[in-house]
Amino acid sequence: MTLPSALYGVFLLGTCILYWALPNRRLKLWLLIAASLAFYASLQIQYLPLMLVLVLSNFAIGRAISAPLDWQIPNEAWHFAQQDWNRRRFWLLWLGIGLNVLLLLAFKYVSALAQLVGWAPPDPALAGSPILFNLIMPLGLSFFCFESIAYLADIYRGAPATGSFAEFAAYKLFFPKLISGPITRFQAFASQVKRSTFPPLERWVEGLWLIAAGAVKKLLIADRIGLLVNLSFDNLERAGSGDLWLATFAFGLQLYLDFSGYVDIARGSALLLGITLPQNFDFPYFTSSIADFWRRWHMSLGDWLRNYLYFPLGGSRRGLVRTCLNLLIVMLIAGIWHGDRWGFVVWGGLHGLALVVHRLNRSLADRWQPLQRLWASVPGLVFAWAMTQLMVFSSWLFFRLPNLQDSGWVLTHLWGHSADVQFAQKVYVDTLGLARGEIALLLSLIMALMGLFYSFHRGLKLQLSWPVKLLLIPVCLYVAWLLAPTETAPYIYFEF
């Protein structure tokens, strides 16, 4: 069952009808759990027991962390009892964090580490190596574990733990966000479920509009761009420098439209069930600094990295040098989280260095007024935007080609390299039906349309009214279904 698809539409419609027909909150929670388990089983039924065990384990650890201190202790023993209680909570927190982190490491990095030390061959599937070295990553495990760590850390910091297993399971398994986020906090989810009421017409329209917009992003645009990206990067040695630049730019657009399209469908689905999921993207390709980019790209992950890594490391409270070191550490961890290839580490390192340069530049601008005026001027803003997006789009190369041999080959052939004589004919004309210049123009037009939407939304504060959205919903869904490629590509972030 994929998002979007006709089967998912029927599933979502049936779930919504049953959800709003049920008379009380407890039954609604168990319906959400059952629907989420059915949804996950349609994708990876073999990992359903693992997900249930994780839900139960994190629920139990959360309850244990929140267990109160015994108030019947005599006064003379109070100080020692409090120390033992704090120590117990601390080790329970790290038990929960360790459980989630080690599980991620097992699925993401065991095979790579085994190959590194010579315990497993480069291709375990062909060499008959133990199944441990050839595991498929459970869908949604990364987001699941990140949410669990946030839940346990929040309880340790003083947030109340839920006493309802159904409430916690519905939060952890909620099917719209289960596979690729956005990352949500328990308290925000639980409070919405408690006070949920049947949505007004405007809310239903907004939910359906998000689903339709996500379908257009994914099926009509991202999957079409993906054809170009795959053809170009699968035939590296035949592509010329211009083709490599075009494919890198195209992948940046594909990644954004693919992931934000999924999130739109997830948020729209949740709205139909009376739940608002956090926004995950806010026009990130129109930011003029790398720090602002990370405030508007994969926003729920950025918040998680700040709250549960950057701030515990000391944030910006310990001087400029320590701040820069913290930024670099956080982004390296973000790169490692994305995968077990060195390209992801390089990608994280590049973003970390860019954040360090931005912080140093900001510190210098605070002391030197001419530099501050330069960045506030129109030429300075345009230059900052261009440099920021050049860094972001070029670093996506390591994301698409995490094997450093491949990405290194591309870097050394970005200038002065001619394409194979048949590359343009086979890739552009025969497969895509357009010349390279026409494709570049179309991609630029997509970027321009995104800029137009950004101007209306952020600059002019204009949005479509719900009656207009209601008229456009069937048009968008029909066009996305009619013009989608024959085979829908899996979401890129399913790999992470």
Q: Tell me the pLDDT tens digit for each residue of 155-193.
A: 999 899 999 999 999 999 999 999 888 999 999 999 999
Tokens of 20: 């709003």
Q: What is the pLDDT of residue 5?
A: 85
- Answer whether 274's CB lies under 8 Å from 192's CB: yes
Residue 124 pLDDT > 60: no
Query: In the chain, what are the domain boundaries?
Result: 22-196, 204-490
Residues contacting 44, CB < 8 A, separation 6+: 136, 138, 139
Helices 165-173 and 48-66 pack at an angle, to 10 degrees, of 130
Respond yes or no: is residue 338 known to be catalytic: yes
Does the pLDDT at position 346 exceed 50? yes
Q: What pLDDT, in 10s, does the model give residues 17-42? A: 999 999 889 999 999 999 999 999 99
* 286-307 pLDDT, tens digit each: 999 999 999 999 999 999 999 9
Of 54-68, 79-93, 263-277, 340-354, give the lowest mean pLDDT range: 79-93
CB 145 within 8 A of CB 103: yes
CB-based contacts of 24-31 (< 8 A; 24+ apart in sequence): 25/193, 25/194, 25/196, 26/166, 28/193, 28/196, 29/164, 29/166, 29/167, 29/169, 29/170, 29/193, 30/166, 30/170
Tokens of 82: 């409090």
Q: Of the given ranges (55-64, 189-198, 256-265), which has the lowest mean pLDDT?
A: 189-198
CA distance 114 to 107: 12
- Reported confidence tier of residue 444, pLDDT bands at 50, 70, 90: very high
From the list 79, 298, 338, 413, the catalytic residue is: 338
76-80, 123-127, 293-297, 381-385: least confidently modelled range = 123-127
Instruction: Confirm if 218 and 262 have CB atoms less than 8 A apart.
Output: yes
pLDDT tier at 118, thresholds 50, 70, 90? low
Amino acid at residue number 37: L
Structure tokens that stand for 416 in this block = 């002065």
Orientation angle between helical segments 378-400 and 369-376, nearest 10 degrees: 80
For residue 266, what are its two tokens? Answer: 């997830």
Amino acid occupying residue 251: F
